[in-house]
Structure 1
Amino acid sequence: METISKETLVGQLRDLGVRAGGVLLVHMSFREVRPVEGGPEGLIAALGEALGPEGTLAMPSATGDDETVFDPATTGNRDDLGIVADLFWRMPGVVRSPHFDAVSARGPKAEWITGGPFVLPPAAPESAIDRIRQAGGQVLLLGVGHHANTMLHLAELVGGAPYRSDFHYIDDAGREVHYGENDSCCEKFELADGWLRAEGALRAGRVGHAEARLMEAEDLVRIAAAKVKADPLIFLHGADEDCEECDEARESL
């Protein structure tokens, strides 16, 4: 396949609607975007250029290790977050939340986004995810579906989703702390795509070789939270659909 230049990437991002000076939360699969000039570093550079010097770039940076004390300077990302997100948190000028469900960010609003209170469940109001919404941020999905869209976990909580699965983490004192998280298989998060399109709140195109979808975080939370309020279990598979994660969520009710 053709290697996409940095200049083309920046143009694609701007054509899609990425705002200069804005806040952008990116979920991606680099495998879908590549090949691009400069590899993962080149893609990060293109995202930064599209946002400009007044913009703030953010990516998920949570650990998949729930048996080790989290250290934002050394603890790696969960594997499914991908190579770009794992590279990003290690780069100069990037700051990272000081807890296990971290977000990494670079730009004028990075300290505020990542420095908020530690809340449980991890995507609850006042979390880093919510602060991206409060800052008028956008969500960009690059080569991934809404199953990766962390902002929808905030929408679940705002809408009053009642289910909680048992999770734990190790605190700074080495103690195992259990908490309930609004978790499921997330396959039905794809419903959000149709909801957004119906309201003209989704922009779609290509960035690199990947399908790209861009939305305002505020629109996403508003629209999805209303759906959850009307049907609190809308994101769960039915009891007869043989989904272990959704069944666990249902059993918590």
Structure 2
Amino acid sequence: MPVSAEQIGRQLAALGVPRGAVLVVHCAFSRTGPVQGGPEGLIQALRAWLGPEGTLVMPSMTEDDDAVFDPARSHCRGMGVLADTFWRLPGVRRSDSPHAFAACGPLAEVITAAHPVDDPHGMDSPVGRVFAHAGHVLLLGVDHDANTTMHLAESLAKVAYGIPKYSTVRDGNAVRRIHYLEAQGCCARFVEVNAALQRRRAQSIGRLGHGTARHVRSRDVVDAALDLLRRDPEAFLHPAGECGECDAARDGSARSG
């Protein structure tokens, strides 16, 4: 049966999501629904729980590196149906960047202000600003391999790996590519942070809708990830030879140096 907004509110309370929070949500709706009202019904339930003092944030980036990003038109279907529904709703702001996030609430303008293309997940990015404003992360039907805040930790740690990438942007009347090194591997091993968060009692795991949900403060994600990276600078990479993307991250960093 579809889950109601009232039920979602009770589940959010059980997960410890505070009212009035700055909350980044990553969601696989297919593992969370059905919800009354579909994806828009879930968004309304999240907004109702956070209340007028809360700010709801979702990823809204494009996967088309060859096209100029248009915040009013470019879809973000790769981020899931919830995220691709969210940015289209009235009152939601979307940053003008290929690495866009969308937000609604009192801090939406701050979270979605201009951010650099060549440093997608640093402190001067939407996830960095959520972190700076004592934000929270809610993972719905996904694990930390879908948690963009993990990339913030990699950026702060100045990891010695990265994948060469580019984005296409408009510069006046011209269109140009910006090349940069994105600090990441394949992201699959981000799930290693679960054990560290559980040891710290920093993460609550429960149900939201019909799926598994994880709630954690942004600062706790970063602290746990940085601790793992201090112990092993390649904690989030597969061993050499096991993953082509992780091997490319090692090679990409070497080439850039």
Instruction: Sort the TM-score into its range (normalised by shorter chain).
Output: over 0.9
Provide the C-alpha distance between the structure 2 equivalents of 1:194 and 1:31, rounded to a whole number of angstroms. 26
Residue 65 in 1 paired to residue 64 in 2? yes
- Whole-Å separation in 1 of the counterparts to 2:18 and 2:208: 15
Candidates 86, 89, 92, aligned match of 2:87 = 89
| Residue number in structure 2 paired with 1:115 | 113
CA displacement, residues 96-124 of structure 1 (integer Å, 9 cap, x when unaligned): 11110000000000000110432532001
| Counterparts of residues 7-22 of structure 1 (less than 5 Å) | 7-22=6-21
Contact preservation (8 Å) 1:27, 1:148: yes
Letter in 2 for 1:216: R
8 Å CA contact 1:160, 1:232 repeated in 2 = no
Q: For this pair of structures, how many residues does the alignment match?
A: 250
Does structure 1 conserve the Cα–Cα contact (< 8 Å) formed by 2:62 and 2:78? no
SS at match of 2:175: coil
Corresponding residue for 1:150? 148
Q: Partner of 1:189: helix, strand, or coil?
A: helix
* Equivalent pair of 1:167/1:178 in contact (CA under 8 Å): yes
Q: Secondary structure at the match of 1:174?
A: strand
Identity %: 46
The 4+ residue runs of structure 1 with deviation greater than 4 A are: none
**Larger displacement relative to structure 2 (50-59 or 164-173):** 164-173
Q: Could you list the per-position Cα deviations for residues 44-90 of structure 1 after superposition, in whole angstroms to 9, with x for gaps in the alignment?
A: 0110011011100000000001111111111111x331101001001
AA partner of residue 132 (structure 1): V
Q: Which amino acid aligns with 2:195?
A: G
Look up the equivalent residue of 2:53 and give its one-letter code: E
Aligned equivalents of 1:41, 1:119: Cα separation in 2: 29
Alpha carbons 2:160, 2:250 under 8 Å: kept: no
Q: Which amino acid aligns with 2:105?
A: G
3-state SS in 1 of match to 2:179: strand
Q: Which residue of 2 aligns with 1:3?
A: 2
1:226: Cα distance to partner?
2.2
Give yes or no for the alignment of 1:231 onto 2:226.
Answer: no
Aligned to 2:181: 180
* CA deviation after TM superposition for structure 1 residue 231, in Å: 1.5
Q: Identify unmatched segments of 5+ residues in structure 2.
A: none
In 2, Cα distance between equivalents of 1:133 and 1:23: 9
Conserved in 1, the CA contact under 8 Å of 2:118 and 2:179?
Answer: no
Q: Contact 1:129–1:151 (CA<8 Å) still a contact in 2?
A: yes
* C-alpha distance after superposition, 1:225-246 (max 9, x if no partner): 12213321111001132x1100
Give the Cα separation in 1 of the matches to 2:240 and 2:39.
41
1:247 paired with 2:247, answer: yes
- SS of 1:171's partner is strand
The answer (yes or no) to whether the contact 2:99–2:117 under 8 Å persists in 1 is: no
Aligned-pair RMSD on alpha carbons?
Answer: 1.1
1:27 aligns to 2:7 (yes or no): no
Contact 1:72 1:96 (8 Å CA) reproduced: yes
**Equivalents in 2 of 1:124, 1:11: separation in Å?**
34
Q: Return the alpha-carbon distance in structure 1 between the equivalents of residues 241 and 63 of structure 2.
A: 29
Residue 105 of structure 1 pairs with residue 106 of structure 2: no
Q: TM-score, normalised by structure 1?
A: 0.96
Structure 1 counterpart of 2:20, which letter? G
Q: 2: distance between equivalents of 1:180 and 1:106?
A: 30
Residue type at the aligned position of 1:17? G
CA contact (8 A) 1:160 1:229 kept: no
Report the AA paired with residue 24 of structure 1. Answer: L
What residue ranges of structure 1 are gaps of 5+ in the alignment? none
Q: Distance in 2 between matches of 1:99 and 1:123?
A: 12
**SS class of match (1:43):** helix
Contact 1:159 1:226 in 2 (8 A): no
Following the alignment from structure 1 to structure 2, what is the Cα–Cα distance between the partners of residues 138 and 30?
19
Structure 2 equivalent of residue 74 of structure 1: 73
Match of residue 171 from structure 1: 169
Mean Cα deviation higher: 223-232 or 91-100: 223-232
Cα distance in 2 for partners of 1:120, 1:194 equals: 31
The secondary structure found in structure 2 opposite 1:175 is strand
